[in-house]
Chains A and B, each alone.
Chain A
């Protein structure tokens, strides 16, 4: 007996956010259904991959990743160019040097670096702070201004610290990331606060502070899913595309950091890191993520292949 396919129609769609200008622009969002349910609704813009690029390689990263990135990891501009060669959709640039205790980079130096990265690639930029309120609030305006008109995605605004960044993004025409600590209520609250300052709803992207596989993935997964259900059901303050940070989170997992000497039963450390990143990313794609950020070149290849296989375009 043929089983009838059950589909439903939703009253609302996810906002389309445009990141970047002109030929470099990418669009995310626009879904009228849950992820990859092509028989039920549209997914007009495929999920995007961003390469995580840092102004300085975090000293906690595993040697195998640093090795895989090669010399490019010594210089953010070269690193970003490598990302373009790898075929990613965006560069996710992390500013950390302005927040270090010894000899912090000045806002102007951060701005120069951001501009140099932007000029070096034909890809739109995501630019992060260091999650440190005071140095971030000094850095954001300089970086934002240096990138004015490039329609970047800057982040992240939190419930406690959103005013400077929001005002700056509005002034320079950027999109903004609204960050919440795996908490759907705060997620909505941040969107309210940011939009009440005049930020259009279609210039906000949700970042739910997801963890890696084994580190609370299922909490973020169900929050993203519930956010998406609320959005499709009509809640305009939850109708933003979702970004998940996969690469840097995976680098915190002991399963990725432990060497083969320490954990011989876990097999090749090089393969483990790639598999951990790809598995985390595809799980979030199935929950509704529109942008995944990745570190390892081979994880990028695997996730690209996965997205290709799930899209019917």
Chain B
């Protein structure tokens, strides 16, 4: 499972404060904790901490600060083109670009950006019409993404298709639609691209968020999800993730399987 740690996001109070006050110690603590917990990438998002015109500078500060403390690659996360590009350029290691929509022009721009930087790319199964309400449209958009990547010569192990999880509290049919889409997309290409979701979206606005998150993660993994943007510091969530890998025969059992997974990741 490829784990993208979500906590370096300006939407969280502590990170917002860190960005505003240029407080490296808050960033360092979150970097260390997420790396220790097994993150393969660290998501970097300035959120709404600063006004739009300052976001690019804030992104560069975050990327440079994080790289003082870790070699773990970053997932540069912004809906604003300019912010995303300066973030990618500031990266010392090929990052994960988060994210492109499936509209052809935008998608191609981002594929080119990824190719230029040897980066990986998250492409969303949504377009100018928004997030699809059904399985078929998601699968169709995923097909378009795969074709675009293939035509550009982008290796599929660097392509992450995000099937877009939505809050269960707002749209209760969506979690099931996403599961079905993940299932139908298995075998779309060989080798396969990765399938990813922003897990915490599913519990947005709900109570017992951690329980909802980990239950849904297990369901998605059973359908073939192999990457997620999540809070790796949520220990019960990570326990569920590790146990699911075991039950799917992706990890060899040992009596210390939780510890084994964690120490194997840490020593990576």
Contact = CB atoms under 8 A, between A and B. Distances in A.
Interface of A: 184-186, 188-189, 192-193, 195-196, 201, 226, 230, 235-238
B12 interface: no
A237 B264 contact: yes
Nearest to A12: B268
Given A196-B259, A237-B260, A188 B267 contact: no
Nearest to A190: B254
Q: Give the interface residue-count category, chain B.
A: 10 to 19
A235 B263 contact: no
B256 interface: yes
A192 B268 contact: no
Nearest to A227: B252
Interface in B206-261: 251-256, 259-260
A195 B255 CA distance: 14
Contacts of B252: 184-185, 188, 226, 230, 235, 238
Nearest to A186: B254
A196 B263 contact: yes
B189 to A, nearest CB: 15
A201 B259 CA distance: 15
A235 B251 contact: yes
Contacts of B251: 235
Secondary structure of the B contact surface, majority rule: loop
Interface of B: 251-256, 259-260, 263-264, 267-268
Contacts of A238: 252
A230 B252 CA distance: 8
Contacts of B255: 185, 189
Contacts of A230: 252
A195 B268 CA distance: 14
Contacts of B253: 185, 188
Contacts of A192: 254, 256, 259-260, 263
B94 to A, nearest CB: 15
A184 B251 CA distance: 11
B254 A201 contact: no
Nearest to B260: A192
Contacts of B264: 235-237
A188 B268 contact: no
Contacts of B260: 188-189, 192, 237
B183 to A, nearest CB: 23
Nearest to A239: B264
A287 to B, nearest CB: 16
A222 to B, nearest CB: 13
Given A185-B255, A196-B263, A235-B264, 9 more contacts: A185-B254, A188-B252, A188-B253, A230-B252, A236-B267, A237-B254, A237-B260, A237-B263, A238-B252
